[in-house]
Amino acid sequence: MKNIIKYIPLALLVLFIFACGEGDKVPGKYLSKDKMSSIMTDMSIADAYSNELQVQQNTTYSPNYDSVRQEKVKIYYKQILDLHKVTVHEFMDSYRYYESHPSRLKEVLEMVQNNISTRKQKLGNPIEENAPVRYRLKSIFPYADSVILVPRMDTMRPFVKRQQ
């Protein structure tokens, strides 16, 4: 009995060392923080894009307005997952994992926020001289996209798969 009592502190120390080791790493079967933040960044942009699209179309509110928008967003989400070569099942498993670990989810969401703010900074001020013509016109004429014939950029539909 005395021998067992001697080894209890040693066993606790070993347990403590293994419990604290690699606590920041995500298990291999889940998406990494970088990949998850990249996917969630694209999904946030898809949400904003679908909202902006509805506003540009000047649609009045109807009972199925939200359901139509949600269906479009689901299509965008599927395209985003395809572009990142991730299945819906893998994404949902990883998302549940991050939900069950709030500190890691917070890190991922902070990365998403940083990614979006970095992209916004790269766009610059739309009124600047070096901004594309349609952005400069939009500051003067809010409906310039639909009235003035200006060539549209390829990024107008950012999540549509390109034919190869």
Is the whole-model pTM more than 0.85? Answer: no
The pLDDT tens digits for 65-100 are 677 778 888 999 999 999 999 999 999 999 999 999
Cα 104–Cα 74–Cα 115 angle in degrees, nearest 5: 40
What is the per-residue pLDDT for 164? 45
Contact yes or no for 33/107 (Cβ under 8 A)? yes
pLDDT of residue 87: 94
Report the C-alpha gap between 164 and 161 in whole angstroms: 9
Q: Which residues of 58-72 are buried (b: 16+ CB within 10 A; e: fewer)?
A: eeeeeeeeeeebeee
**94-151 tens-digit pLDDT:** 999 999 999 999 999 999 999 998 888 877 665 666 666 666 666 556 655 555 454 5
What is the largest distance, in Å, between two alpha-carbon atoms of the chain?
Answer: 89
- Average pLDDT (24-39) is 88
pLDDT at 93: 94
Report how far residue 2's alpha carbon sits from residue 73's, in angstroms, rounded to the nearest whole number.
66
List pLDDT tens digits, range 47-56.
888 877 766 6
Tell me the C-alpha distance between 164 and 125, whole Å.
Answer: 34
pLDDT at residue 163 greater than cutoff 50: no
Is 65 within 8 Å of 107 (Cβ atoms)?
Answer: no
